[in-house]
Structure 1
Amino acid sequence: MFDKKRVNRLRWACRRGMLELDVLFMPFVEDAFNDLDEQQQLTFERLLTCDDPDLYAWFMGHQKCDDAQLRDMIKFILNRVKV
């Protein structure tokens, strides 16, 4: 389970160099992260280690992420944003 310190690090990691990513990640970590199961939380943490240009391309649909877990997390985040 993620302790408060680890969640705070995730919040900091959600602050990206691109506004398009900030508006996806910041609300997600605040509103949805605690509802994820442990595996999903680990996947989200791993997603945040990816480079901004890759993240942008994946989230905007310009490229397909090769990692199935990351791809599923991207879809999950995008679906939450659409709601």
Structure 2
Amino acid sequence: MSESFEAKRLARLKWACRRGMLELDVLLLPFVEQAFEQLSYEEQVTFERLLTSDDPDLFAWFMGHQKCEDAVLAAMVDKVLNTIKIR
């Protein structure tokens, strides 16, 4: 992919990580900045799909109040938590 496309993609992802809930912002934005480019293409697509989830669901999954029913998204939640080292 072109450098310009990747820069735009990262900018779009950073914007999508601004959720309006500090608890989510401090997980998602650092993950994009630190780890997104090292993910496989499939993991990148999964992370982008994760960002389409509703904030209350994301909050419940990341805080451990609920387990995500989608195993692929649940694995991405774990990856984000393990990468950012917040539990």
Q: Settle same-fold status: TM greater than 0.5.
A: yes
- Correspondence 1:34 to 2:33: no
Structure 1: runs of 5+ lacking an equivalent: none
TM-score computed with the length of structure 1 as normaliser:
0.93
- Correspondence 1:48 to 2:40: no
- Correspondence 1:79 to 2:82: yes
Structure 2: runs of 5+ lacking an equivalent: none
C-alpha displacement at 1:3, in angstroms? 2.2
TM-score computed with the length of structure 2 as normaliser:
0.89
**For residue 44 of structure 2, what is the amino acid of its counterpart?**
Q
The percent of aligned pairs where both chains have the same amino acid is 66
Q: Which has the larger radius of gyration?
A: 2
Instruction: Give structure 1 regions of 4+ aligned residues with deviation exceeding 3 angstroms.
Output: none
What is the rounded CA distance, in whole Å, between the counterparts of 2:80 and 2:9 in structure 1?
20
**Cα RMSD between the aligned structures?**
1.4
What is the rounded CA distance, in whole Å, between the counterparts of 1:80 and 1:21 in structure 2?
14
